[in-house]
A and B are shown apart, each in its own frame.
Chain A
Amino acid sequence: MLEFFKNLDRRNVFLLIAISVLLPLISPLGLPLLPDPEVKALYNQIDALPEGSKIALSFDYDPASGPELKPMAEAILHHAFKKKHKVYAMALYPAGPSMANEAFSNVADIYKAEYGEDYINLGFYYGPNTGLNQVAVFCTDIRRAFPVDEKKKPLSSYPMMAEYNSLKDAALTISLSAGDPGVPAYVSVANAVHGLKIGAGVTAVSAPRFYAFYNSGQLVGLLGGLGGAAGYEVLNDIKGKGLSGMDAQSMAHLVIILLIVFSNLLYIIEKKLEE
């Protein structure tokens, strides 16, 4: 018996995880969620901006991190459009502009936000992997990075671009980042060199790295993983994919914890038997 559980086929573990994720997705548990302080901080930053403020939103992710970062993007867009802020999207990832289009198409219509007046997708700017060069250009002259928008139209044809020349014109810059290039570049250049306010949304696996930036004030707010997105949805009073995914994540965490506890019990029993 002990041997069976010790050498448990990993497919059994996979099955347990699959069931624990699937069941709450089919039948949600509706567990209450308390937003983290760093999530509240980002929410408060956007909420405190005067109506019509400019927010730069960098889509620095691809479909692999979409399940975690897309709910964040949509929750932030809900909030920004509700407050009638202008959103300027750009990307350090090649797939970023498509991610931005997807998020805009899911949210803009609800608030009757118009392309070119309330939001714009500037596209992807290629450069070295660190992203430092790209962000340096965004901070000095956005038109040098994006002479045309993602629809290949000159920026001068959009009214919302009239007073937007660099990230310095934005009241807040938020990077939704799956890794590098992303948040580290915005912190190192936009914040450290130009003193701009930076918010971040990152995957759960990379979130621990960014708490140091949040504690030092280099990030004004931080959304970490699906929990961050769900917390923002709670504050924003919307039911998005973040909240629905948290039940599944809760169950998966619980199953993993139970598996770890069980495997450690086996380990202790085995030790005792050996003695």
Chain B
Amino acid sequence: MKREIPIMITFIVCLFLILDFVIQSEFLSKVAGSINDYTSIVATFAMVLGLGSLFSVHLNRIYRKRMNWVYSIILILGFAVAVFFATLYGVDETYTVKLTQQEYEQREARGEKGLVVEDVYYLLVQNKKMKVSKEVYELSALSAQSKATGKEYKQIRKNKWFDGLIFKGIYDPLQATMFSLLAFFMASAAYRAFRAKSLEATLLLVSAFLVMLGRVPIGAVVGDMLAGMIPFLGLEGSHWFKSIADFIMTVPNAAGQRAIMIGAALGMVAASFRIWFAYETEHLGRD
């Protein structure tokens, strides 16, 4: 049963999702919607599992002092600091602090910014106040005795530590830097490896040359220069590099991409059918 039950679950879930795709039915749509929700929940567990695994790998590396173990300390410290500030202040641009009326008035007198007073609505149930939305409060079926209003005092503050320092000050520029480094390594790799050694390599080289010039404004300047230098080619206007680049992108490139995508999709359909009908059970583990 250890294998049969997961196989049955897989079969039923796949069946509902496929039927929802081909049949218009409110019931099927609801079931498929719930399955989507469960998938999101299960995926969240996977995230926690991933974090646990990350921790275990790096703690192990620090304990055994393996190569570059110092970087593991930085990773765990970075993680701990981010979690600490996110727990204290949240991950948004601002965070809200509740105040008493007295605190509110003191801060207002000091001229502090971000002070907010909000009307709040209550239902009185067995002498207990239950906070409700304005829409519920205004329901005509409720008697005046069962309702009450009040005021809530808050201060909206800028999240300087998590959003300001960690996200915008460290994470944002670091990620942009990592991506930008691509340009440098690509240039170096192109200089070393992009050689016209065969017909295929030459075709790749020429198309890369044309697309790289055609996709940027300087292509028009170079195009103008070349058209003047080689008049017998009869190149008209300054945007002929762009026209060739557009053709390469929308015709041969699109055709190639389509072939790859259709091939991949057919492969995915075949793999899905194998999992659906339990011909493929690798995802259940080997035990």
State in angstroms the CA–CA spacing of A242 and B21 once bound together.
Answer: 40
B205 at the interface (CB under 8 A from A): yes
B258 at the interface (CB under 8 A from A): yes
A239 at the interface (CB under 8 A from B): no
Mark each residue of chain A from 259 to 270: 1 if its CB lies under 8 Å from any CB of chain B, else 0.
Answer: 110111001000
**Is A36 a contact partner of B93 (Cβ separation < 8 A)?**
no
Interface-lining segment among A42-50, A64-72, A83-91: A64-72
**Is A250 a contact partner of B216 (Cβ separation < 8 A)?**
yes
A23 at the interface (CB under 8 A from B): no
**Is A141 a contact partner of B33 (Cβ separation < 8 A)?**
yes
Residues of B near A236 (CB, < 8 A) are none
In-complex Cβ contact of A64 among B176, B216, B219 (8 A)? B176
**Is A260 a contact partner of B254 (Cβ separation < 8 A)?**
no
Residues of B near A262 (CB, < 8 A) are 191
Residues of A near B163 (CB, < 8 A) are 98
Of all chain B residues, which has the CB nearest A209? B257
**Residues 1 to 27 of chain A near chain B (Cβ within 8 Å):** 8, 10, 13-14, 16-18, 21
Mark each residue of chain B from 207 to 235: 1 if its CB lies under 8 Å from any CB of chain A, else 0.
Answer: 01100110111111110000000000000
State in angstroms the CA–CA spacing of A135 and B248 once bound together.
Answer: 32
Mark each residue of chain A from 101 to 144: 1 if its CB lies under 8 Å from any CB of chain B, else 0.
Answer: 10000000000000000000000011110000110110011001
**Residues 229 to 257 of chain A near chain B (Cβ within 8 Å):** 246-247, 249-257
Question: Given A128-B40, A264-B205, A256 and B186 touching (CB < 8 A)?
Answer: yes
State in angstroms the CA–CA spacing of A32 and B220 once bound together.
Answer: 8
Nearest chain A CB to B256 CB, angstrom units: 9
State in angstroms the CA–CA spacing of A165 and B48 once bound together.
Answer: 31
Judged by DSSP, the binding face of B is helix
Of all chain B residues, which has the CB nearest A68? B179
Judged by DSSP, the binding face of A is helix
State in angstroms the CA–CA spacing of A133 and B39 once bound together.
Answer: 8
Nearest chain B CB to A222 CB, angstrom units: 10
State in angstroms the CA–CA spacing of A204 and B180 once bound together.
Answer: 13
Residues of A near B167 (CB, < 8 A) are 95, 98
Residues of A near B44 (CB, < 8 A) are 126
**Is B40 a contact partner of A127 (Cβ separation < 8 A)?**
yes
State in angstroms the CA–CA spacing of A209 and B259 once bound together.
Answer: 11
In-complex Cβ contact of B39 among A16, A127, A212, A263 (8 A)? A127
A195 at the interface (CB under 8 A from B): no
Question: Given A63-B175, A263-B195, A250 and B217 touching (CB < 8 A)?
Answer: yes
